[in-house]
Amino acid sequence: MTTLYASFADRIGAILDDLQASGALPAGLDRRNVAIEPPRDPAHGDLATNAAMVLAKPAGTNPRALAELIVPKLAALPEIASAEVAGPGFINVRLTEQSWRDELAGILASGGDYGRSAAGRGTRVNVEYVSANPTGPMHMGHCRGAVVGDALAALLEFAGYAVTREYYVNDAGAQVQTLARSAHLRYREALGETVEIPEGFYPGDYLIPIGQALAAEFGNAYVGKPESEWLDLFREKTVAAMMDMIRADLALLGIAHDVFASEAAVQKAGKVDAALDRLRGEGLVYEGTLEPPKGELPDDWEPTEMTLFKATAFGDDSDRPVRKSDGGLTYFGTDLAYHAQKAETADMLIDIWGADHAGTVKRIKAAVQALTAGKVAFDVKLVQMVRLLRGGEPVKMSKRSGSFVTLADVVREVGKDVVRFTMLTRKADAQMDFDFAKVVEASKDNPVFYVQYAHARGRSLHRRAAEAGIDLAPAADLSLLDAEELALVKLAAQFPRIVEGAAQAHEPHRIAFYLYDLAAMFHALWNRGNDDPARRFLLSDKPEITRARLALSDAIGQIIRNGLGVMGVTAAEEMQ
């Protein structure tokens, strides 16, 4: 269905067309800045447009005069109760109560599709997120990016984009070689040797079963043999096992990627040379030396020739090496080719990165621009660190011993829904505290609980109505709803535009904040029943009113389910 706001945009557009046809307005006005919005102050009505203010100057008139031309045409529309000029030239519109009742009926009729949008027009967007190194289990450092990326993917899908969820497996660098060597130690251990894990190796216990599996598969075939005989094999086997473990961890959060792209495969397929050759042909890749870094000069600085990408041509501060002076690829060199690969099948790329990689955003943006001639939109979303607390005290973590807070532990303790919702209660680039005590608290301070509670209240209404013997089959008479109840419908009706705005801005946290506001207003309405029993949702002796109020409650519940669905959170049937 078209949203209320979109349909009014059409109507304003038609009115402007009329005014242009009749010569009251010049042709060819740029209408891109014309907005239809709910005013912040409800006293200003249900909808407001700035059309007169934006168009007055190019039309050679003044805002109020132009508004006076538009208002009568608006007021003539059947669903409009009043339209008036206000302030510097805003046009404030009040809709009839009937249009809000229609909107409520529309929410219920649309069900799980309410808020779904075609705004994305099927644009193919590739969202790459998590992409944790396959050297161990997922820990809490990965968690926020995982949730933000997954929710963003779902949000874009809901808003009409064709989404691919992708994970980039860094299986080619020095770290996975260290992993393979660490696994080889565990393999020897499994065969009876007493081993010590040297500094710089991966010490975690999770490699013990890998070593046992390798021992079971290969016996002692690779004991005392040079690395050249086993390193690649052990790397592949161990990375595969790590990825199984990571997939299992992600599954706990309800995350499943469509594509796992291998760094080694990108190199093996010759994509790096292809991309670099192409750029070399355009003069964007060359052999050269870098300027020394500004500020303190490292003691051992000496200019060396290597292969560089001309990132400065696209606004970066320095050109960036794609091949080291020894001819080996840099991480960036392969990453550049990997983005070219993604761009082959997408109109838009989104990367979710930890904020500690902020320094490399410019070069990869430069690369994508160079590789796609600016035709593929590209956004890097930086996700800030999460501080883990328990009752206000920082959770101690020791990296050295290899013991860190794993994602699996946290999900086990507080549950998937709490983790996901909490990760979306801040915008991604703001730091966040995750307090084990607070996120499970049953109080208004905890948005997770508050939203779930609103939904559960609505569900319990049905159970209680059944107990009270109320027949819910007949259609609800929505004319029985009062002004306060319709005010809740007005907030509910904003869900579609919240979805579109959040999708366009790549900000899934907006859904969480909106749901909190919606829940708060629903609770306030519910609480009226404490002071005045006649205003309760459930009145056992008044089935007509109960049916109308249940329709309202159902609509709110539907939107909460739809919103939580985008966030990957299950709506609670009841609070325990």
Partner RNA sequence: GCGCCCGUAGCUCAGUUGGAUAGAGCACGAGCCUUCUAAGCUUGGGGUCGCAGGUUCGAAUCCUGCCGGGCGCGCCA
Query: What is the dihedral angle through the alpha carbons of 548, 553, 559, 560, rounded to the nearest 10 degrees?
Result: 180
Q: What length is written for the chain? A: 576
- For residue 385, give the DSSP letter: -
Handedness of CA 64, 65, 68, 73 (dihedral sign): negative
Residue of 531, 430, 530, 528 lying closest to 485 (CA atoms): 528
Q: Least CB distance from residue 536 to RNA, whole Å?
A: 3
Q: Least CB distance from residue 326 to RNA, whole Å?
A: 6
Q: Least CB distance from residue 363 to RNA, whole Å?
A: 8
Q: Encode 113-136: b = buried (16+ Cβ within 10 Å), e = exposed.
A: ebbbbebbeebebbbbbbbbbbbb
Pair of tokens at residue 286 = 């060359």
Q: Which is nearer to RNA, 217 or 356 (CB)?
A: 356
- Complete DSSP assignment for 443-498: STT-HHHHHHHHHHHHHHHHHHHHHTT----SPP-GGG--HHHHHHHHHHTTHHHH
The Cα–Cα gap between 152 and 168 comes to: 17
Contact between residue 92 and residue 72 where contact means Cβ atoms under 8 Å apart: no
Q: Which is nearer to RNA, 56 or 255 (CB)?
A: 56
Q: Least CB distance from residue 342 to RNA, whole Å?
A: 17
Residue of 206, 205, 186 lying closest to 196 (CA atoms): 186
Please list the residues that pair with 127 across neighbouring strands: 165, 350
Q: Tell me the H-state helices in 114-224.
A: 140-158, 174-190, 208-218
Q: Report the largest interatomic distance among the alpha carbons of the chain, rounded to a whole angstrom.
A: 93
Q: Which is nearer to RNA, 218 or 331 (CB)?
A: 331
The Cα–Cα gap between 77 and 546 comes to: 32
Q: Which is nearer to RNA, 106 or 354 (CB)?
A: 354
Q: Least CB distance from residue 192 to RNA, whole Å?
A: 33
Q: Least CB distance from residue 88 to RNA, whole Å?
A: 4
Q: Least CB distance from residue 270 to RNA, whole Å?
A: 19
Q: Which is nearer to RNA, 250 or 503 (CB)?
A: 503
Q: How far is CA 489 from the centre of its chain?
A: 26
- For residue 259, give the DSSP letter: E
Q: Least CB distance from residue 386 to RNA, whole Å?
A: 10
Q: Which is nearer to RNA, 360 or 570 (CB)?
A: 360
The Cα–Cα gap between 130 and 522 comes to: 36
Q: Which is nearer to RNA, 233 or 361 (CB)?
A: 361
Q: Least CB distance from residue 335 to RNA, whole Å?
A: 7
Q: Strand, coil or helix: what is 364?
A: helix
Q: Least CB distance from residue 210 to RNA, whole Å?
A: 19
Q: Least CB distance from residue 136 to RNA, whole Å?
A: 13
Handedness of CA 213, 219, 225, 231 (dihedral sign): negative
Q: Encode 407-427: b = buried (16+ Cβ within 10 Å), e = exposed.
A: bbebbeebbbbbbbbbbbbbb
Q: Least CB distance from residue 17 to RNA, whole Å?
A: 20
The Cα–Cα gap between 48 and 85 comes to: 10
Q: Which is nearer to RNA, 15 or 169 (CB)?
A: 169
Q: Which is nearer to RNA, 191 or 383 (CB)?
A: 383
Q: Which is nearer to RNA, 256 or 505 (CB)?
A: 505
Q: Which is nearer to RNA, 252 or 389 (CB)?
A: 389
Q: Which is nearer to RNA, 412 or 463 (CB)?
A: 463
Within 8 A by CB and 6+ apart from 99, the residues are 4, 79
Please list the residues that pair with 125 across neighbouring strands: 163, 348
Within 8 A by CB and 6+ apart from 212, the residues are 186, 190
Contact between residue 364 and residue 316 where contact means Cβ atoms under 8 Å apart: no
Q: Which is nearer to RNA, 196 or 291 (CB)?
A: 291
**What distances in angstroms separate CA 337 from CA 276, 277, 435, one per listed residue?**
8, 11, 40
Contact between residue 153 and residue 161 where contact means Cβ atoms under 8 Å apart: no
Q: Which amino acid would we find at residue 276?
A: L
How many C-beta atoms lie closer than 10 Å to residue 174's C-beta?
A: 8
Q: Which is nearer to RNA, 78 or 295 (CB)?
A: 295
Q: Least CB distance from residue 117 to RNA, whole Å?
A: 14
Q: Least CB distance from residue 86 to RNA, whole Å?
A: 4
